[in-house]
Amino acid sequence: MATIALPRFKAPKVDLGAVLKSPAAGLAGAGVLFAGAIVALVNLLGPMGAGPDHVRIPLDQPLRSAPAGWREALKPLHGQAHVYKDVVRLSERPLAPGAASYFSGTKPAAAPAVAGTALPVAPITGFYAPGPGGPLPIIAQDGRTPAEAYARPFKANGRPKVALVMGGLGLNARTTRQAIETLRPEITLSFSVYAEGLQGWIDMARAHGHEVLLETPMEPVDYPDNDPGPYTLMAGGQPPETVKKLEWILSRATGYFGLTNYLGSRFLATDVAYNAFASSVKGRGLAFIDDGSAARRGGGMARATAERVIDDKLSGPAIDQQLMALEGGALQRGQALGSGFAYPVTLVKVASWANEVEQRGFQLAPASALTVRK
């Protein structure tokens, strides 16, 4: 995983002997050091007015509408529940190779905000029940599933359908808010289960009309060099262990219609591991959408597979080419699903593409509309 080299502040050398001999000189030297540290910190982080380090999210209505005890039952990573009334503070996700160039110099212009019809406030009565780690999704008594209840409504118009899942959300406040507010509501948003304030982000996304997926960390072939985190579903894990970790993931929030994989090349290729996962997902009435790593997998649940990752090569022209190829796939097969990561350049390109694609004879659809039971 790539890192960004940050400038290091080197404190000036100080003659400690001279400082000890003169209290006044010591105070002056300390003042110089403190001032130097402040200057270096400002240079490192940018001026204090350069942008907020938090995002305010109005959650009054969702909090009032939620059943009593719901938010209190959500299990955080540690300590008290990280659900705030109107402020969510989030950490930064490491950048993929090539992404650093988009955070220096000239940045792509952000797309204008897009208004969407709000989806029903989650949780919806009848689609959850208490679990060992918090509330868990269930199939309602009338047979309706959470995949149906929380999906964005869709009516086909006969045109080729194109859909996109934008992932990696919840770990970077600015890009998460940009995705929620500037992407067309038909774009499906995928959130990391490790995000602080996860429920607040999901509430905000649904308020803007976006359906939501949870990213399930799964073991890749290069584990542990590439480690998806403490609740990674392991290829060699016993089914009860897989189910237990999955329950923790599912109890992190509500309002999602299904899951998607985060990594998982080894896990998804292991029959015992995948079957335990699929059985649990099916039993809870959820959908599973993968990034192409599990194209041949079924499991009896609502399924869809992304046929291409649009930002494997992180440049504007390369993303444009992938989006055009996605349209080509929709023309050939009647529908096509792509996936991408919430890099700033990807969000700008997708926002522009989504606003124009229907003028070329396609229908922009949520990912749930492309799922089939297999």
CATH code at 341?
3.20.20.370
* 146 and 26 assigned to the same domain: no
* 67 and 215 assigned to the same domain: yes
* 118 and 211 assigned to the same domain: yes
* 219 and 149 assigned to the same domain: yes
Domain that holds residue 22: 1-7+15-51
* 230 and 323 assigned to the same domain: yes
Query: Using CA atoms, how far apart are residues 201 and 83, in angstroms rounded to an integer?
Result: 10
User: Is 163 a residue whose pLDDT tops 60?
Assistant: yes
Poorest-confidence range of 20-34, 165-179, 209-223, 330-344?
20-34
* 166 and 30 assigned to the same domain: no
How confident is the model at residue 44, as a pLDDT? 38
Average pLDDT across the chain, whole number: 79
Strand, coil or helix: 23: helix
pTM listed for this prediction: 0.73
Record the tokens describing residue 28, joined without a space. Answer: 């002056």
Query: Using CA atoms, how far apart are residues 270 and 336, in angstroms rounded to an integer?
Result: 26
pLDDT band, residue 374 (cuts 50/70/90): confident
Query: Using CA atoms, how far apart are residues 328 and 178, in angstroms rounded to an integer?
Result: 28
Record the tokens describing residue 287, joined without a space. Answer: 């959908």
**106, 180, 100: which is closest to 343 by C-alpha?**
100
* 114 and 45 assigned to the same domain: no
Q: What are phi and psi of 172, to 5 degrees?
A: -135, 115
Record the tokens describing residue 357, joined without a space. Answer: 């694609």
| DSSP alpha helix (H) spans, 67-154 | 70-73, 146-150
Long-range interactions of 35-41: CB distance < 8 A, separation 24+: 36/9, 36/11, 36/12, 37/9, 37/11, 40/7, 40/9, 41/9
* 145 and 43 assigned to the same domain: no
What is the DSSP annotation of 325-343? HHHHHHHHHSEEEEEEE--
The total of structural domains in the chain comes to 2
* 160 and 113 assigned to the same domain: yes
User: Is 152 a residue whose pLDDT tops 80?
Assistant: yes
* 39 and 143 assigned to the same domain: no
* 97 and 229 assigned to the same domain: yes
* 236 and 360 assigned to the same domain: yes
